[in-house]
Amino acid sequence: MDFLLTEEQKMIQETARDFARKEIAPTTIERDKNAEFPREIINKLAELGFMGMMVDPKYDGAGMDTVSYALAMMEISKVDASVGVIMSVNNSLVTFGLEKWGNEFIKEKYLKPLARGEKLGAFALSEPEAGSDATQQHTTATKDGDSWVLNGMKNWITNGKNADYYIVFAQTDKAKRHHGITAFLVEKGTPGFTQGVKEDKLGIRSSDTCSLSFADCRVPEENVIWEVGKGFNFAMNTLNGGRYGIASQAVGIAMGAYERALNYAKERKAFGTEIANHQAIMFKLADMAMEIEAAKLLTLQACALKDAGKDYIKEASMAKLFASETAVKVAREAVQIHGGYGYVREYEVERMYRDAKITEIYEGTSEIQRIIIGRKILAD
Protein backbone atom coordinates (compact mmCIF):
# COMPACT_ATOMS: atom_id res chain seq x y z
CA MET A 1 0.00 0.00 0.00
CA ASP A 2 3.00 2.29 0.47
CA PHE A 3 2.91 3.41 -3.16
CA LEU A 4 -0.34 5.26 -2.48
CA LEU A 5 0.92 7.20 0.51
CA THR A 6 2.08 10.81 0.26
CA GLU A 7 5.38 11.94 1.77
CA GLU A 8 3.46 13.63 4.58
CA GLN A 9 1.45 10.49 5.36
CA LYS A 10 4.66 8.43 5.45
CA MET A 11 6.21 10.96 7.80
CA ILE A 12 3.26 10.77 10.21
CA GLN A 13 3.40 6.97 10.08
CA GLU A 14 7.12 7.06 10.86
CA THR A 15 6.62 9.53 13.72
CA ALA A 16 3.94 7.30 15.26
CA ARG A 17 6.13 4.20 14.84
CA ASP A 18 9.11 5.85 16.56
CA PHE A 19 6.96 7.25 19.33
CA ALA A 20 5.34 3.88 20.00
CA ARG A 21 8.68 2.11 20.15
CA LYS A 22 10.43 4.66 22.38
CA GLU A 23 7.66 6.06 24.57
CA ILE A 24 4.97 3.38 24.78
CA ALA A 25 6.59 -0.06 24.45
CA PRO A 26 8.76 0.09 27.61
CA THR A 27 5.71 0.27 29.92
CA THR A 28 3.05 -1.69 27.98
CA ILE A 29 3.35 -4.99 29.87
CA GLU A 30 3.32 -3.37 33.33
CA ARG A 31 0.41 -1.06 32.55
CA ASP A 32 -1.62 -3.99 31.24
CA LYS A 33 -0.82 -6.00 34.37
CA ASN A 34 -1.73 -3.15 36.74
CA ALA A 35 -4.57 -1.74 34.63
CA GLU A 36 -2.81 1.61 34.81
CA PHE A 37 -4.01 4.57 32.72
CA PRO A 38 -1.20 5.96 30.47
CA ARG A 39 -1.58 9.62 31.47
CA GLU A 40 1.98 10.71 30.61
CA ILE A 41 1.85 8.97 27.24
CA ILE A 42 -1.43 10.70 26.39
CA ASN A 43 0.13 14.06 27.30
CA LYS A 44 3.02 13.34 24.94
CA LEU A 45 0.64 12.24 22.18
CA ALA A 46 -1.08 15.59 22.63
CA GLU A 47 2.22 17.39 22.04
CA LEU A 48 2.51 15.53 18.71
CA GLY A 49 -0.99 16.70 17.75
CA PHE A 50 -2.29 13.12 17.85
CA MET A 51 -5.29 13.78 20.12
CA GLY A 52 -7.02 16.06 17.62
CA MET A 53 -5.42 14.85 14.43
CA MET A 54 -8.19 15.67 11.94
CA VAL A 55 -9.50 18.84 13.59
CA ASP A 56 -9.03 22.08 11.66
CA PRO A 57 -6.12 24.18 13.03
CA LYS A 58 -8.62 27.02 13.56
CA TYR A 59 -9.98 24.84 16.41
CA ASP A 60 -6.45 23.97 17.58
CA GLY A 61 -6.32 20.59 15.80
CA ALA A 62 -3.49 19.21 13.67
CA GLY A 63 -5.46 19.43 10.39
CA MET A 64 -4.27 16.04 9.13
CA ASP A 65 -6.26 13.77 6.83
CA THR A 66 -8.08 10.58 7.82
CA VAL A 67 -5.55 8.29 6.11
CA SER A 68 -2.79 9.78 8.29
CA TYR A 69 -4.94 9.25 11.37
CA ALA A 70 -5.47 5.58 10.46
CA LEU A 71 -1.75 5.05 9.85
CA ALA A 72 -0.87 6.59 13.21
CA MET A 73 -3.57 4.52 14.98
CA MET A 74 -2.16 1.33 13.44
CA GLU A 75 1.39 2.08 14.64
CA ILE A 76 0.29 3.02 18.17
CA SER A 77 -2.05 0.01 18.49
CA LYS A 78 0.62 -2.33 17.16
CA VAL A 79 2.51 -1.62 20.37
CA ASP A 80 -0.37 -0.91 22.76
CA ALA A 81 -4.06 -1.20 21.84
CA SER A 82 -5.09 0.48 25.11
CA VAL A 83 -3.32 3.69 24.12
CA GLY A 84 -4.89 3.21 20.68
CA VAL A 85 -8.46 3.18 21.97
CA ILE A 86 -7.98 6.23 24.19
CA MET A 87 -6.66 8.12 21.17
CA SER A 88 -9.41 6.75 18.94
CA VAL A 89 -12.26 7.86 21.22
CA ASN A 90 -10.90 11.40 21.51
CA ASN A 91 -10.31 11.68 17.75
CA SER A 92 -13.14 9.73 16.11
CA LEU A 93 -16.00 9.83 18.57
CA VAL A 94 -15.50 13.15 20.31
CA THR A 95 -13.59 15.82 18.37
CA PHE A 96 -14.86 14.68 14.94
CA GLY A 97 -18.51 14.98 15.99
CA LEU A 98 -18.07 18.25 17.89
CA GLU A 99 -16.32 19.91 14.97
CA LYS A 100 -18.98 18.80 12.51
CA TRP A 101 -22.14 19.30 14.58
CA GLY A 102 -21.23 21.38 17.64
CA ASN A 103 -22.27 25.04 17.92
CA GLU A 104 -19.60 27.78 18.09
CA PHE A 105 -19.86 27.97 21.88
CA ILE A 106 -19.12 24.23 22.15
CA LYS A 107 -16.27 24.47 19.66
CA GLU A 108 -14.60 27.36 21.51
CA LYS A 109 -15.10 26.07 25.01
CA TYR A 110 -14.77 22.29 24.58
CA LEU A 111 -13.45 21.31 21.17
CA LYS A 112 -10.31 23.45 21.35
CA PRO A 113 -8.88 21.99 24.59
CA LEU A 114 -9.91 18.48 23.44
CA ALA A 115 -8.11 18.96 20.12
CA ARG A 116 -5.01 20.25 21.93
CA GLY A 117 -5.18 17.12 24.06
CA GLU A 118 -5.27 19.16 27.26
CA LYS A 119 -8.67 17.67 28.00
CA LEU A 120 -9.90 14.16 27.30
CA GLY A 121 -13.30 13.19 25.91
CA ALA A 122 -15.71 10.27 26.30
CA PHE A 123 -18.76 9.14 24.33
CA ALA A 124 -21.61 7.92 26.52
CA LEU A 125 -24.24 6.14 24.42
CA SER A 126 -24.44 2.57 25.80
CA GLU A 127 -26.65 1.77 28.75
CA PRO A 128 -27.36 -1.39 30.76
CA GLU A 129 -30.34 -2.03 28.45
CA ALA A 130 -29.24 -0.19 25.30
CA GLY A 131 -26.15 -1.52 23.51
CA SER A 132 -26.68 -2.61 19.92
CA ASP A 133 -30.22 -1.21 19.98
CA ALA A 134 -29.13 2.29 20.87
CA THR A 135 -32.65 3.72 20.37
CA GLN A 136 -33.68 2.24 23.74
CA GLN A 137 -32.21 5.03 25.85
CA HIS A 138 -33.50 5.05 29.43
CA THR A 139 -31.53 8.11 30.44
CA THR A 140 -33.86 11.10 30.30
CA ALA A 141 -33.32 14.82 29.92
CA THR A 142 -36.12 17.18 30.95
CA LYS A 143 -36.20 20.87 30.07
CA ASP A 144 -36.25 23.21 33.08
CA GLY A 145 -35.91 26.92 32.33
CA ASP A 146 -32.76 27.42 30.29
CA SER A 147 -31.21 24.09 31.22
CA TRP A 148 -31.79 20.35 30.90
CA VAL A 149 -31.92 17.94 33.84
CA LEU A 150 -30.40 14.50 33.19
CA ASN A 151 -31.27 11.30 35.04
CA GLY A 152 -30.07 7.78 34.25
CA MET A 153 -27.07 5.57 33.77
CA LYS A 154 -24.46 4.76 31.13
CA ASN A 155 -22.34 1.62 30.83
CA TRP A 156 -18.99 0.52 29.36
CA ILE A 157 -17.74 4.06 28.79
CA THR A 158 -14.16 4.20 27.50
CA ASN A 159 -12.17 7.02 29.19
CA GLY A 160 -15.04 7.01 31.71
CA LYS A 161 -12.87 7.78 34.74
CA ASN A 162 -10.23 9.95 33.13
CA ALA A 163 -12.24 12.10 30.72
CA ASP A 164 -12.99 15.76 31.38
CA TYR A 165 -15.83 16.21 28.86
CA TYR A 166 -18.54 13.66 28.05
CA ILE A 167 -20.95 13.43 25.15
CA VAL A 168 -24.08 12.05 26.79
CA PHE A 169 -27.19 10.82 24.99
CA ALA A 170 -30.61 11.06 26.61
CA GLN A 171 -34.26 10.66 25.77
CA THR A 172 -35.95 14.06 25.47
CA ASP A 173 -39.20 12.84 23.93
CA LYS A 174 -39.89 9.12 24.19
CA ALA A 175 -42.88 9.23 21.83
CA LYS A 176 -40.60 10.18 18.94
CA ARG A 177 -38.44 7.03 19.14
CA HIS A 178 -34.96 7.83 17.78
CA HIS A 179 -35.98 11.38 16.88
CA GLY A 180 -36.60 11.97 20.59
CA ILE A 181 -32.94 11.44 21.56
CA THR A 182 -30.61 14.40 22.18
CA ALA A 183 -26.84 14.65 22.73
CA PHE A 184 -25.40 16.86 25.50
CA LEU A 185 -21.91 17.97 26.43
CA VAL A 186 -21.46 17.30 30.16
CA GLU A 187 -18.42 18.39 32.16
CA LYS A 188 -16.88 16.20 34.83
CA GLY A 189 -17.68 17.73 38.21
CA THR A 190 -21.18 18.84 37.26
CA PRO A 191 -23.33 18.26 40.37
CA GLY A 192 -25.32 15.00 40.08
CA PHE A 193 -22.81 13.41 37.66
CA THR A 194 -20.71 10.56 39.11
CA GLN A 195 -18.40 7.89 37.72
CA GLY A 196 -18.75 4.25 38.75
CA VAL A 197 -16.09 1.69 39.62
CA LYS A 198 -13.49 0.92 36.94
CA GLU A 199 -14.27 -2.34 35.13
CA ASP A 200 -11.80 -5.23 35.52
CA LYS A 201 -11.47 -6.23 31.87
CA LEU A 202 -10.12 -9.12 29.79
CA GLY A 203 -8.15 -6.81 27.49
CA ILE A 204 -7.25 -3.17 26.75
CA ARG A 205 -6.65 -3.07 30.49
CA SER A 206 -4.58 0.09 30.51
CA SER A 207 -7.57 2.05 29.19
CA ASP A 208 -10.31 2.77 31.69
CA THR A 209 -13.93 1.76 31.31
CA CYS A 210 -16.70 2.51 33.80
CA SER A 211 -20.36 3.31 34.25
CA LEU A 212 -21.68 6.85 34.68
CA SER A 213 -24.70 8.01 36.62
CA PHE A 214 -26.77 11.12 36.43
CA ALA A 215 -29.07 12.21 39.26
CA ASP A 216 -30.74 15.56 38.60
CA CYS A 217 -27.66 16.65 36.71
CA ARG A 218 -28.25 20.13 35.27
CA VAL A 219 -26.75 20.95 31.87
CA PRO A 220 -27.08 24.38 30.21
CA GLU A 221 -29.08 24.75 26.99
CA GLU A 222 -25.98 25.79 24.97
CA ASN A 223 -24.47 22.35 25.68
CA VAL A 224 -27.01 20.66 23.39
CA ILE A 225 -25.04 19.21 20.47
CA TRP A 226 -26.46 19.74 16.96
CA GLU A 227 -30.11 20.19 18.04
CA VAL A 228 -32.81 18.66 20.21
CA GLY A 229 -33.96 15.35 18.70
CA LYS A 230 -30.83 14.90 16.57
CA GLY A 231 -28.91 12.81 19.11
CA PHE A 232 -29.41 9.43 17.43
CA ASN A 233 -28.42 10.76 14.00
CA PHE A 234 -25.40 12.36 15.65
CA ALA A 235 -24.46 9.03 17.29
CA MET A 236 -24.83 7.06 14.05
CA ASN A 237 -22.80 9.53 12.01
CA THR A 238 -20.11 9.73 14.66
CA LEU A 239 -19.91 5.94 14.97
CA ASN A 240 -19.26 5.67 11.22
CA GLY A 241 -16.07 7.59 11.97
CA GLY A 242 -15.37 5.50 15.04
CA ARG A 243 -15.46 2.37 12.92
CA TYR A 244 -12.45 3.18 10.75
CA GLY A 245 -10.69 4.14 14.00
CA ILE A 246 -11.38 0.71 15.52
CA ALA A 247 -10.54 -0.96 12.20
CA SER A 248 -7.14 0.78 12.38
CA GLN A 249 -6.70 -0.32 15.98
CA ALA A 250 -7.49 -3.92 14.95
CA VAL A 251 -5.04 -3.80 12.03
CA GLY A 252 -2.40 -2.53 14.47
CA ILE A 253 -3.01 -5.39 16.91
CA ALA A 254 -2.78 -7.92 14.06
CA MET A 255 0.45 -6.31 12.78
CA GLY A 256 2.01 -6.54 16.24
CA ALA A 257 1.03 -10.18 16.74
CA TYR A 258 2.16 -11.16 13.24
CA GLU A 259 5.54 -9.47 13.59
CA ARG A 260 6.24 -11.28 16.84
CA ALA A 261 5.10 -14.63 15.42
CA LEU A 262 7.27 -14.19 12.33
CA ASN A 263 10.37 -13.33 14.36
CA TYR A 264 9.79 -16.22 16.72
CA ALA A 265 9.19 -18.70 13.89
CA LYS A 266 12.46 -17.69 12.23
CA GLU A 267 14.43 -18.35 15.45
CA ARG A 268 12.74 -21.27 17.18
CA LYS A 269 13.95 -24.67 16.06
CA ALA A 270 12.05 -27.98 16.10
CA PHE A 271 12.69 -31.23 14.26
CA GLY A 272 16.05 -29.97 13.05
CA THR A 273 15.04 -26.66 11.48
CA GLU A 274 13.49 -23.26 12.24
CA ILE A 275 9.75 -23.78 12.67
CA ALA A 276 9.04 -21.22 9.90
CA ASN A 277 10.33 -23.87 7.48
CA HIS A 278 7.55 -26.28 8.46
CA GLN A 279 4.55 -25.87 6.21
CA ALA A 280 2.19 -25.96 9.19
CA ILE A 281 3.74 -22.70 10.40
CA MET A 282 4.63 -21.18 7.02
CA PHE A 283 1.03 -21.48 5.82
CA LYS A 284 -0.22 -19.81 8.98
CA LEU A 285 2.21 -16.92 8.44
CA ALA A 286 1.17 -16.60 4.79
CA ASP A 287 -2.52 -16.38 5.72
CA MET A 288 -1.80 -13.89 8.50
CA ALA A 289 0.24 -11.61 6.19
CA MET A 290 -2.42 -11.73 3.46
CA GLU A 291 -5.34 -11.05 5.78
CA ILE A 292 -3.57 -8.12 7.46
CA GLU A 293 -2.88 -6.59 4.06
CA ALA A 294 -6.54 -6.98 3.06
CA ALA A 295 -7.73 -5.45 6.36
CA LYS A 296 -5.32 -2.55 5.94
CA LEU A 297 -6.46 -1.87 2.39
CA LEU A 298 -10.14 -1.92 3.38
CA THR A 299 -9.41 0.47 6.24
CA LEU A 300 -7.37 2.92 4.18
CA GLN A 301 -10.03 2.78 1.47
CA ALA A 302 -12.75 3.87 3.93
CA CYS A 303 -10.49 6.70 5.14
CA ALA A 304 -9.58 7.81 1.61
CA LEU A 305 -13.30 7.91 0.70
CA LYS A 306 -13.97 10.13 3.69
CA ASP A 307 -11.06 12.40 2.77
CA ALA A 308 -12.51 12.67 -0.75
CA GLY A 309 -15.89 13.73 0.71
CA LYS A 310 -17.62 10.54 -0.47
CA ASP A 311 -19.98 8.16 1.33
CA TYR A 312 -17.95 5.71 3.41
CA ILE A 313 -20.55 4.09 5.71
CA LYS A 314 -20.52 0.64 4.10
CA GLU A 315 -16.74 0.69 3.63
CA ALA A 316 -16.13 1.73 7.27
CA SER A 317 -18.33 -1.13 8.47
CA MET A 318 -16.61 -3.60 6.14
CA ALA A 319 -13.22 -2.41 7.36
CA LYS A 320 -14.23 -2.69 11.02
CA LEU A 321 -15.77 -6.13 10.57
CA PHE A 322 -12.93 -7.62 8.57
CA ALA A 323 -10.11 -6.00 10.54
CA SER A 324 -11.52 -7.00 13.94
CA GLU A 325 -12.08 -10.61 12.92
CA THR A 326 -8.58 -10.63 11.40
CA ALA A 327 -7.09 -9.27 14.62
CA VAL A 328 -8.66 -12.05 16.70
CA LYS A 329 -7.58 -14.73 14.23
CA VAL A 330 -4.03 -13.45 13.74
CA ALA A 331 -3.47 -12.97 17.48
CA ARG A 332 -4.79 -16.50 18.17
CA GLU A 333 -2.43 -17.94 15.55
CA ALA A 334 0.45 -15.91 16.98
CA VAL A 335 -0.17 -17.53 20.38
CA GLN A 336 -0.32 -20.95 18.69
CA ILE A 337 2.97 -20.40 16.85
CA HIS A 338 4.64 -19.40 20.13
CA GLY A 339 3.36 -22.56 21.85
CA GLY A 340 3.82 -22.40 25.65
CA TYR A 341 5.74 -19.12 25.38
CA GLY A 342 2.67 -17.57 23.77
CA TYR A 343 0.68 -18.18 26.93
CA VAL A 344 2.82 -15.99 29.20
CA ARG A 345 2.91 -12.20 29.48
CA GLU A 346 6.53 -11.69 28.53
CA TYR A 347 5.99 -12.65 24.89
CA GLU A 348 3.07 -10.19 24.56
CA VAL A 349 1.00 -12.15 22.05
CA GLU A 350 -1.34 -13.31 24.85
CA ARG A 351 -2.12 -9.63 25.57
CA MET A 352 -2.73 -8.98 21.89
CA TYR A 353 -5.14 -11.94 21.80
CA ARG A 354 -7.01 -10.51 24.82
CA ASP A 355 -6.95 -6.98 23.38
CA ALA A 356 -8.17 -8.11 19.95
CA LYS A 357 -11.48 -9.51 21.25
CA ILE A 358 -13.04 -6.16 22.12
CA THR A 359 -12.64 -4.89 18.56
CA GLU A 360 -15.39 -7.36 17.55
CA ILE A 361 -17.69 -5.85 20.18
CA TYR A 362 -17.36 -2.10 20.74
CA GLU A 363 -18.53 0.66 18.38
CA GLY A 364 -20.93 -1.84 16.84
CA THR A 365 -20.54 -5.62 17.16
CA SER A 366 -19.65 -7.79 14.14
CA GLU A 367 -23.34 -8.67 13.92
CA ILE A 368 -24.29 -4.96 13.74
CA GLN A 369 -21.68 -4.37 11.02
CA ARG A 370 -23.26 -7.19 8.99
CA ILE A 371 -26.67 -5.48 9.37
CA ILE A 372 -25.25 -2.16 8.16
CA ILE A 373 -23.43 -3.75 5.20
CA GLY A 374 -26.41 -5.97 4.33
CA ARG A 375 -28.88 -3.07 4.38
CA LYS A 376 -26.59 -0.92 2.23
CA ILE A 377 -26.08 -3.69 -0.33
CA LEU A 378 -29.83 -4.28 -0.59
CA ALA A 379 -30.58 -0.56 -0.88
CA ASP A 380 -28.03 0.05 -3.67
Contacts with ligand COS by CB under 6 A lie at 125-126, 131-132, 134-135, 178, 232-233, 236-237, 239-240, 313, 362-364, 368, 371-372
Q: How far is the CB of 361 from ligand COS (least distance, A)?
A: 8
Secondary structure in 3-state letters for the chain: CHHHCCHHHHHHHHHHHHHHHHHHHHHHHHHHHHCCCCHHHHHHHHHCCCCCCCCCHHHCCCCCCHHHHHHHHHHHHHHCHHHHHHHHHHHHHHHHHHHHHCCHHHHHHHHHHHHHCCCCEEEECCECCECCCCCCCCCEEEEECCEEEEEEEEEEEECCCCCCEEEEEEECCHHHHHHHEEEEEEECCCCCEEEEEECCCCCCCCCCEEEEEEEEEEEEHHHEECCCCCHHHHHHHHHHHHHHHHHHHHHHHHHHHHHHHHHHHHHCEECCEEHHHCHHHHHHHHHHHHHHHHHHHHHHHHHHHHHCCCCCHHHHHHHHHHHHHHHHHHHHHHHHHHHHHHHCHHHCHHHHHHHHHHCCCCCCCHHHHHHHHHHHHHHC
Of the two residues 131 and 220, which places its CB atom closer to ligand COS in the complex? 131
Q: Pick the catalytic residue: 315, 348, 360, 363?
A: 363
Of the two residues 68 and 301, which places its CB atom closer to ligand COS in the complex? 301
Q: How far is the CB of 161 from ligand COS (least distance, A)?
A: 16
Q: How far is the CB of 179 from ligand COS (least distance, A)?
A: 6
Of the two residues 19 and 226, which places its CB atom closer to ligand COS in the complex? 226
Q: How far is the CB of 232 from ligand COS (least distance, A)?
A: 6
Of the two residues 242 and 256, which places its CB atom closer to ligand COS in the complex? 242
Q: How far is the CB of 8 from ligand COS (least distance, A)?
A: 29
Annotated catalytic, 127? no
Of the two residues 19 and 169, which places its CB atom closer to ligand COS in the complex? 169
Active site residues: 363
